[in-house]
């Protein structure tokens, strides 16, 4: 059995979590109770075991309603419990071992007996944590590592990220309506465990609403008579919870409350097209006079605060605008208020996302640019004119269905209410190139990592085509591993859990009477994150140009130089750096980047279809893993030194783009979007330049989108601010930057990530 570190980091965490409000002893008691129930129902169906464990968590894991909350619902998370993602809690029946160890050290201060009780839990979950079971089965000594173990060229995990639920189904039927629908189904199949457990999950919604209602009532009773405003807010919370415990909502407050409560219970951390889902309730309240614009602003700001307080770092997607909305006029009323909240709050989360079309109004464009110019880093911009037909092709659905696409996390696409798309695999394309050139041995640790592949010696290779074909053989081997690991992650999860709350609001689980990974979900999809794409393609171009076109160096000379980290080979490094680079609108480098992109993206997609998925698509993503993986990736033929960050997502290596923002954006349009399920495109401007030239910026962005650009993430900062923040972090507590597929407070980032951000071109007056 492969050894791996169960206490290693399992996801990117930049935002500091809010501490659990329960005492350490109470936390331990809950974890022990959960573990006891998990043991007790070991022989029961997975559905029964899941719902009984959920009854341990809910409603007791709800936190106190805070004085600024306009609706109810905050959750604590423990090192042991149930979930869908690693950003909060864990996956399925989980144990986050590093956090349990930290908890163990803290509670030990209250007595040695507590240390032993935690140790008993630790030992039990070593055998029962879902992700650990997956790792034992799938990881290998040299080719597949645990997410995130950057010694490996490929890392894998089991998780159910990015689930975007069918909230209209919830809002239109209410909890009671869903219970009736499932009860009717159960009548026809009385032994269906999925239906029986789903009904009990819906009862947990009611029970949780009642618990929060009682909490609101208690706070009302404890308030002073003079605090009439807060009493009124709590009365509204209490009455809203009373309504939505069974009935469908009638007002914006009730709809917001029901949506939020269910999202918490389901463990999802991306929220979908809230403008279209909640807009009709908002518009009706505004038109009837039940709510003022100021109150609507306060509610949406409260939602923003609730999402921020979950602190998932790379999630929290709220999407507005775009094609396929059922209620565009009402949705735009939500959009306009949300845009103001986004600009004013400047939170790291939610990841506020604007889908654009040719019909997007100038008013919306202005609001978006104003928010970006204020330094919000939001909204992120997605081009529906490109993405809708691309999703239709990539996911093999109609264009009408493709209008349901929504980005989650760092940028991965799913179809809300209809598909899975979790990225459980990441591949380092540059590390693989370096290993291939070193005859299968990773220069960083001296281990052979090509499995059954035996690459040719460099001296035997006579042409660039032969060299490239050898690299493709390596890629083929790793693409085979990736699709098998992704597909097996679904299998392992399905053997253990049903993700009941999620399944209830996903087509076609109720209709089929099956959980989403058990054949219930309409479209079983997945994604594979790729890293080092541009470093790899720039390296390929350097090799082609320097070795085979100009014959300036041999392959062996290039390899000797990179193995020496260019020490003593400065002339070769200079020549490598001077080769054409992606990001400058050059057919040479951009063409090579596209060649590599299409080989990998088509290879992944075809393998997904062959294994039985609706789609399996690459995502050209970035979540600081380009920096972490770069630290353990050797020097490369593009001139990059060993241990240096790799290029961020689909962008050029930091500083490689020399020809200005238009040229860089032109390079970003090189890749055909129909072969991927999201591609992070970042651009950074000086604040004074951006805000003085918004008309020019808008024209530039529109030209980029018309040329085929699919997406943009924009950072606007003062010149010199990032450099000064590294020296005087205390002066910049709220300086937000776009890292890649997520935003973060700059001073909270690791220094290596800060340095990668600084390396990216900052476009000012002279660069436009």
Q: How confident is the model at residue 766 (pLDDT cuts 50, 70, 90)?
A: low
pLDDT at 505: 98
Query: Is residue 25 predicted with pLDDT exceeding 70?
Result: yes
Residue 192 located in a structural domain:
yes
Q: What does the pLDDT average to over 11-24? A: 84
Strand partners, 272: 318
Residue 618 located in a structural domain:
no
Residue 67 sits in which domain range? 24-132
Residue pair 293/286 in contact (Cβ under 8 Å)? The answer is: yes
Q: How confident is the model at residue 733 (pLDDT cuts 50, 70, 90)?
A: confident
Q: How confident is the model at residue 201 (pLDDT cuts 50, 70, 90)?
A: very high
Query: Is residue 111 predicted with pLDDT exceeding 80?
Result: yes
Last residue of a domain, one of 132, 151, 185: 132
Last residue of a domain, one of 218, 240, 267: 267
Residue 698 located in a structural domain:
no
Residue 128 located in a structural domain:
yes
Same domain, 116 and 182: no
The tens digit of pLDDT for each residue in 152-191 reads: 999 999 999 999 999 999 999 999 999 999 999 999 999 9
- Could you tell me which residues come within 8 angstroms of residue 758 by beta carbon, excluding any fewer than 6 positions away? 654, 722, 723, 726
Task: Give the sheet arrangement for strand 682-686, strand by strand.
Answer: 317-321, 351-356, 380-383, 711-717, 682-686
Longest CA–CA separation in the chain, Å = 87
SS3 for 737-760 is EECCCCEEEHHHCCHHHHHHHHHC
CB atoms within 10 A of CB 672: 17
Residue 552 located in a structural domain:
no
Q: How many domains is the chain built from? A: 2
Last residue of a domain, one of 267, 302, 330: 267
Q: How confident is the model at residue 719 (pLDDT cuts 50, 70, 90)?
A: confident
Residue 88 located in a structural domain:
yes
R_g of the chain computed on alpha carbons: 26
Q: What does the pLDDT average to over 362-384? A: 97
pLDDT at 623: 75
Q: What does the pLDDT average to over 709-720? A: 93
Same domain, 35 and 114: yes
Same domain, 125 and 172: no
The tens digit of pLDDT for each residue in 485-511 reads: 999 999 999 999 999 999 999 999 999
pLDDT at 17: 86
pLDDT at 172: 98
Same domain, 203 and 105: no
pLDDT at 768: 55
Same domain, 65 and 128: yes
Same domain, 29 and 127: yes
Q: What does the pLDDT average to over 684-703? A: 95
Please list the alpha-helical segments (H only) found in 346-415. 362-373, 384-395, 399-402
Residue 29 located in a structural domain:
yes
Helices 167-188 and 193-222 cross at an angle (nearest 10°) of 130
pLDDT at 767: 55
Same domain, 212 and 121: no
Query: Is residue 565 predicted with pLDDT exceeding 70?
Result: yes
Residue pair 631/670 in contact (Cβ under 8 Å)? The answer is: no
Q: Which two tokens stand for residue 449?
A: 């990592």
Q: What does the pLDDT average to over 207-221? A: 97
- The mean of the pLDDT values for the chain is 96
Residue 362 located in a structural domain:
no
Q: Which two tokens stand for residue 616?
A: 């399996």
- Could you tell me which residues come within 8 angstroms of residue 82 by beta carbon, excluding any fewer than 6 positions away? 34, 50, 53, 54, 57, 89, 92, 93, 94, 267, 497
pLDDT at 86: 86
Q: Please choose, from the candidates 21, 66, 59, the residue with its C-alpha nearest in 3D space to the C-alpha of residue 233.
A: 66
């Amino acid at each position: 059995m492969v050894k791996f570190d169960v206490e290693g980091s399992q996801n990117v965490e930049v935002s500091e979590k809010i501490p659990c409000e329960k005492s350490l002893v109470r936390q331990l008691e809950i974890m022990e109770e959960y573990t006891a129930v998990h043991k007790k129902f070991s022989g029961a169906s997975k559905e029964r075991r899941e719902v009984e464990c959920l009854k341990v968590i809910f409603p007791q894991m709800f936190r106190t309603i805070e004085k600024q909350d306009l609706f109810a619902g905050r959750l604590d998370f423990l090192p042991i419990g149930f979930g869908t993602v690693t950003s909060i809690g864990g996956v399925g029946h989980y144990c986050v071992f590093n956090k349990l160890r930290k908890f163990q050290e803290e509670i030990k201060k209250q007595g040695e007996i507590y240390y032993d009780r935690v140790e008993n839990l630790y030992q039990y979950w070593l055998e029962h944590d879902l992700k650990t079971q997956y790792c034992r089965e799938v990881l290998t000594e040299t080719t597949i590592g645990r997410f995130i173990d950057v010694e490996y060229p490929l890392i894998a995990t089991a998780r159910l990220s990015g689930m975007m639920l069918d909230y209209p189904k919830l809002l239109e039927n209410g909890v009671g309506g869903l219970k009736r629908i499932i009860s009717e189904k159960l009548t026809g199949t009385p032994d269906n465990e999925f239906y029986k457990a789903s009904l009990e999950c819906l009862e947990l919604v009611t029970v949780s609403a009642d618990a929060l209602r009682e909490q609101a009532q208690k706070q009302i009773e404890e308030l002073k008579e003079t605090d009439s405003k807060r009493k009124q807010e709590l009365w509204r919370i209490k009455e809203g919870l009373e309504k939505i415990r069974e009935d469908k909502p009638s007002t914006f407050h009730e709809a917001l409350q029901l949506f939020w409560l269910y999202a918490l219970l389901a463990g999802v951390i991306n929220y979908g097209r809230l403008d279209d889902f909640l807009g009709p309730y908002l518009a009706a309240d505004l038109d009837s006079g039940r709510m003022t614009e100021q109150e609507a602003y306060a509610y949406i700001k409260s939602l923003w605060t609730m999402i921020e307080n979950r602190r998932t770092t790379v999630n929290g997607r709220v999407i507005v605008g775009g094609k396929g909305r059922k209620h565009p006029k009402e949705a735009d009323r939500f959009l306009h208020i949300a845009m103001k909240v986004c600009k004013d709050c400047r939170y790291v989360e939610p990841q506020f996302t604007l889908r654009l079309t040719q019909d997007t109004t100038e008013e919306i464009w202005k609001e978006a640019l104003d928010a970006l110019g204020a330094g919000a880093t939001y909204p992120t911009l997605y081009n529906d004119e490109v993405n809708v037909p691309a999703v239709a092709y990539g996911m093999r659905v109609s264009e009408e269905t493709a209008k349901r696409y929504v980005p989650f996390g760092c940028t991965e696409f799913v179809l809300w209410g209809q598909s899975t798309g979790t990225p459980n695999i990441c591949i380092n394309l540059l590390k693989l190139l370096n290993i291939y050139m070193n005859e299968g041995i990773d220069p960083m640790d001296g281990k052979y990592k090509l499995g059954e592949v035996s690459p040719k010696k460099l001296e035997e290779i006579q042409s660039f085509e032969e060299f490239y074909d050898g690299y493709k053989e390596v890629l083929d081997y790793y693409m085979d591993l990736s699709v098998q690991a992704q597909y097996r992650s679904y299998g392992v999860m399905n053997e253990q859990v049903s993700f009941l709350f999620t399944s209830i609001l996903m087509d076609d689980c109720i209709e089929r009477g099956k959980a989403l990974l058990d054949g219930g979900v309409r479209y079983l999809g997945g994604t594979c994150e790729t890293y080092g794409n541009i470093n790899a393609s720039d390296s390929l171009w350097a090799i082609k140009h320097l070795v085979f076109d100009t014959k300036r160096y041999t392959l062996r000379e290039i390899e000797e130089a990179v193995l020496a980290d260019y020490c003593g080979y400065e002339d070769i490094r200079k020549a490598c750096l001077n080769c054409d680079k992606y990001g400058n609108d050059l057919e040479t480098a951009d063409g090579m980047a596209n060649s590599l992109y299409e080989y990998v993206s088509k290879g992944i997609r075809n393998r997904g279809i062959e294994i039985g998925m609706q789609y399996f698509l690459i995502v050209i993503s970035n979540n600081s893993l380009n920096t972490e993986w770069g630290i353990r990736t050797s020097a490369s033929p593009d001139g990059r030194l060993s241990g240096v960050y790799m290029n961020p997502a689909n962008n050029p290596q930091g500083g490689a783009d020399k020809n200005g923002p238009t040229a860089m954006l032109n390079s970003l349009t090189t890749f055909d979007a129909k072969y991927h399920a999201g591609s992070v495109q970042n651009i950074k401007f000086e604040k004074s330049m951006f805000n003085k030239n918004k008309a020019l910026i808008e024209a530039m962005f529109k030209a980029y989108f018309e040329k085929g650009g699919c997406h943009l993430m924009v950072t606007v900062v003062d010149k010199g601010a990032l450099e000064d923040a590294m020296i005087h972090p205390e002066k910049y507590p709220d300086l937000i930057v776009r890292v890649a597929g997520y935003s973060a407070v700059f001073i909270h980032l690791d220094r290596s990530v800060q340095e990668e951000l600084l390396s990216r071109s900052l476009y000012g007056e002279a660069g436009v």
